[in-house]
Amino acid sequence: MTVTTDPVALNEWVPCAWHGQIAIGAALDTMIFGQDIRVERTGDQDYRVTTFGGDSPRELPVQTRYTCVFTTLGDDPRALPEIPEFDEADRRITGCGRVGVNTSPYRIVENFLDMAHFSFIHTDILGAADQTEVLSYRTEHRKDVDEIWAIDCTFYQPAASKAAAGGQLTKYLYRVMSPFSVMLYKNVATDPSRNDAICVFIQPRRETECLAYMPMAIVDEQSTIADIIDFQQSIFLQDRVILENQRPALLPLDPTYELPTRADASSIAYRRWLKAMNIRFGILEKQAA
Amino acid sequence: MSVAQGRWTGVALDHQIQPASSNPVVLNGQALAVWRGEDGPVRVWEDRCPHRGMRLSFGFVRGNTLRCIYHGWAYGADGQCAEIPAHPALAPPKTICANSYPAETRYGIVWTTLGDGASGPPDLGPDEGWEGVRSLFVAASAEAALTALARFDFGAGATTRMLAGDIVEVSFGPELRMLVVVQAMDDERAALHAAAKGARATEERAALAKRLERLRADIEQA
Amino acid sequence: MTIRLYDYSLSGSCYKVRLMLGFLGLDYDRVQIDFYPGRQHRSPEFMEINPLGQLPVLEDDGLRLRDAQAILCHLANKHDDSGQWLPRDQARFGPVMMWVMFAGGELMAASAARLHDALGYDLDIEAARAKARAAFRVLDDHLTGREIDGGKWIVGDTPTIADVACFPYVALAGDGGLGHEEYPALRNWMRDFRRLPRFHAMSGIPEFV
């Protein structure tokens, strides 16, 4: 495809590399929204991102946060979200590299928001085959930050995290920060007063071709980083086979095209929000009658 | 496309669609889930769960319901959603229904159509005594597969004749004949489904299958 | 007796070994290696354990082994008194080894396609997929012949290490953009395999059959 002209999609910050992926002095060629870009690491914390191919090259803004390098093609992008957990000194901060997923970015976000699949796709880990019920929860559009939240979520989990010693009723808070980023807070097995923070930031290469980054700020003194990464990657690759086999890959916003139930309240809120912002990139256009 | 939308086409061998299984099939670019309950007939549905679009060919069968792998939604033989595990007490609305196509097993082959199915599968004589030989999948258009099939040398004494636009009969004498049905997957891929009948059908099945592998090589070299 | 597996959950080759340990009912310790993104399998410390820098590695009572196929042979040779998983008779031993080698050879093209699509490995994806399809066709033809002869496993009347070695990268084909549409015999064999007692799934292979 050519570079998208959708101004809504273009005015978002998206990741284009994870910090540590590129050696100092080296560069990585990648793509956002159909636009070829080159990410050069010019210093320990310094990156330079430029477009190439097509029009005359231009330099893009860069930020390094949450283990990722972010850039944007927009002139007036939405700010990156504040996630204070990443600044707490005792947290284990890690990314999981990046994982390729051949679908639209919205399918990835919706899957991350969804509790009803835990028993079937993350069996014996995030859900039990005999405890499939999703209890009612609330969603809200927080207009001050223009984010979608799902609150009062609970689900029975046999092994909620690498640190969990057994089954627990896990409390979740979900937060959609942009069309291409989502995160959750879930209560820590060993300390009920604190929450693990797990994010997914999506780099849309093309409409149905994405790279997913999963920065985490975890409360866990025991596990090795290898264990924490392995747990999160295992979960994500259980989802990936689903994501790549949803049809169509583009997201339908027509509410009669795919039929939700109460457990999908967060997906419904997310789709309504996408529709209201009139985003076109990666969205299934209405078929001509 | 060589196969008109309304026409019935063979899409699998009956014996290869096992009890309690769901299988992916592509017909004229349309993805289908071909599934069978723990007992009973084969069903052909659109390969898409009405809930969140997950392919139903990834689903699993319990009793005579097909469950979507993603959220376990259960669909009965009529396509109606019968259960939503996230809400065990909820009676699923009637609007939640898998999109199904006509399906029939005849001559050891599963037939379907993307049209209304009014005509039924082709009538090629009595249904008794047919057994599946094997299916072939070729990196060639259905037209190219048919052309190569029609002129393929099935061995001494074998005669080949076209029964319909996409069906060929190969006769090996009074004790053995074979049907080969060509299915367009898309513009570049086709499937062939072969079934045999006659006193020698069972003992010759392995040899026929090997011969069909030679046909596959022929088609792909053409 | 202690068995230790240097393991990466997402590796289909490590999964072969985990499957075999499960079928044999063996307890073992896992050492999690950060294969991606950490590339810990290429670290100096791990290169001392396996100079090829590859997973899995198995330690069994002082013996240290690399290569999933070799490890399957070892486990069946040492820990399977029934002889089912590695038959020693002349009719089956050779064919089992032939398909075990196929799993470590031709079928690994499907692993390459998966590493490209999921983890961004820089390789010729169309070539990898073409090789994987060719390998799938060879195994599908073989299993079609087996079905005609009344068999459902790759060799003989029981599952063997040939089935264990071939299963993961056939089942994980979709992770590399390869569908199962064109392999009816593979689909039926995979379903039978997934219904074996003590079978367990891995990421990319759904739990429910």
Residue B85, min C-alpha distance to chain C (Å): 14
DSSP B97: B
Nearest to C207, CA basis, from B86, A237, A121, A158: A121
| Residue B206 and residue B148 in one domain | yes
Q: pLDDT band for position A149 (50/70/90)?
A: very high
Expressed as residue numbers, the domain containing C179 is: 90-194
Mean pLDDT over each residue of chain A, to the nearest integer: 95
| Residue B107 and residue B197 in one domain | no
At a CB cut-off of 8 Å and minimum separation 6, what does B107 contact? B124, B127, B130, B179, B195, B197
- In this structure, is residue B121 part of a structural domain? no
C174 at interface of A, judged by CB pairs closer than 8 A: yes
Cα-based distances in Å from A114 to A133, A137, A175, A239, A261:
12, 12, 12, 11, 12
A5 at interface of C, judged by CB pairs closer than 8 A: no
**pLDDT tops 60 at residue B2:** no
- In this structure, is residue C209 part of a structural domain? no
Q: pLDDT band for position B119 (50/70/90)?
A: confident
How confident is the model at residue B3, as a pLDDT?
46
| Residue B146 and residue B81 in one domain | no
CATH for C112: 1.20.1050.10
Instruction: Please give the full DSSP string across A238-274, using - where no structure is assigned.
Output: HHHHHHTTBSSSSEE--TTTS---GGGHHHHHHHHHH
Determine, for residues C141 and B213 on separate chains, whether the beta-carbon distance falls below 8 Å: yes
pLDDT tens digit sequence for A230-268:
999 999 999 999 999 999 999 999 989 999 999 999 999
Q: pLDDT band for position B156 (50/70/90)?
A: confident
Rg of chain C over CA atoms, in angstroms? Answer: 17
- In this structure, is residue C123 part of a structural domain? yes
DSSP C8: -
Partners of residue B25 in chain C, C-beta under 8 Å: 181
Nearest to C190, CA basis, from C180, C182, C204, C198: C180
pLDDT tens digit sequence for A159-183:
888 888 888 899 999 999 999 999 9
How confident is the model at residue A212, as a pLDDT?
98
| Residue B75 and residue B146 in one domain | no
Does the model's pTM come out above 0.90?
yes
pLDDT tens digit sequence for A37-77:
999 999 999 999 999 987 789 999 999 999 999 999 999 99
How confident is the model at residue A1, as a pLDDT?
59
- In this structure, is residue C208 part of a structural domain? no
C185 at interface of B, judged by CB pairs closer than 8 A: yes
CA distance B10 to A205: 39
pLDDT tens digit sequence for C72-81:
999 999 999 9
Determine, for residues B51 and A133 on separate chains, whether the beta-carbon distance falls below 8 Å: no
| Residue B101 and residue B13 in one domain | yes
| Residue C60 and residue C107 in one domain | no
pLDDT tens digit sequence for B18-63:
999 999 999 999 999 999 999 899 999 999 999 999 999 999 999 9
| Residue B88 and residue B144 in one domain | no
Mean pLDDT over each residue of chain C, to the nearest integer: 97
CA distance C46 to C184: 41
| Residue C50 and residue C127 in one domain | no
How confident is the model at residue A289, as a pLDDT?
40
B18 at interface of C, judged by CB pairs closer than 8 A: yes
Backbone angles phi and psi of A152, in degrees to 5: 60, 40
Expressed as residue numbers, the domain containing B81 is: 9-112
Share of chain C above pLDDT 70, in %: 100
| Residue B34 and residue B67 in one domain | yes
CATH for B144: 3.30.530.20
A117 at interface of B, judged by CB pairs closer than 8 A: yes
Determine, for residues B16 and C185 on separate chains, whether the beta-carbon distance falls below 8 Å: yes
- In this structure, is residue C102 part of a structural domain? yes
- In this structure, is residue C55 part of a structural domain? yes
Determine, for residues C10 and A233 on separate chains, whether the beta-carbon distance falls below 8 Å: yes
How confident is the model at residue A55, as a pLDDT?
75
pLDDT tens digit sequence for C136-150:
999 999 999 999 999
Partners of residue B72 in chain C, C-beta under 8 Å: 208
By C-alpha distance, the chain B residue nearest A262 is B87
Determine, for residues C206 and B209 on separate chains, whether the beta-carbon distance falls below 8 Å: no
How confident is the model at residue A163, as a pLDDT?
81
For residue A255, give both structure tokens: 């509410």
pLDDT tens digit sequence for C15-73:
999 999 999 999 999 999 999 999 999 999 999 999 999 999 999 999 999 999 999 99
CA distance B98 to B75: 7
How confident is the model at residue A287, as a pLDDT?
56
| Residue B107 and residue B17 in one domain | yes
| Residue C127 and residue C155 in one domain | yes
Nearest by CB to residue C179, choosing from B18, B24, B67, is: B24
Domain count within chain C? 2
How confident is the model at residue A56, as a pLDDT?
87
B197 at interface of A, judged by CB pairs closer than 8 A: no
ipTM over 0.90: yes
pLDDT tens digit sequence for B105-114:
999 999 999 9
How confident is the model at residue A288, as a pLDDT?
45
CA A74 to chain centre: 20
| Residue C54 and residue C102 in one domain | no
Q: How many CA atoms lie within 13 A of B132 on its CB side?
A: 24
Per-residue burial over C29-65, b if 16 or more Cβ lie within 10 Å, else e, is ebebbbbbbbebbeeeebeebbeeebbbbbbbeeeeb
Q: pLDDT band for position B5 (50/70/90)?
A: low
Partners of residue C145 in chain B, C-beta under 8 Å: 206, 209
Share of chain B above pLDDT 70, in %: 98
Which range (A29-33, A126-130, A222-226) has the least confidence? Answer: A222-226
CATH for C58: 3.40.30.10
How confident is the model at residue B4, as a pLDDT?
55
Partners of residue A121 in chain B, C-beta under 8 Å: 69-70
pLDDT tens digit sequence for B193-212:
999 999 999 999 999 999 99
Domain count within chain B? 2
| Residue C73 and residue C125 in one domain | no
Domain A88-284 sits in CATH at 3.90.380.10
Determine, for residues A237 and C10 on separate chains, whether the beta-carbon distance falls below 8 Å: yes
| Residue C94 and residue C186 in one domain | yes
Answer with the one of C57, C79, C101 that is the final residue of a domain.
C79
By C-alpha distance, the chain A residue nearest C173 is A241
Query: Is the model more confident about C13 or about B3?
Result: C13
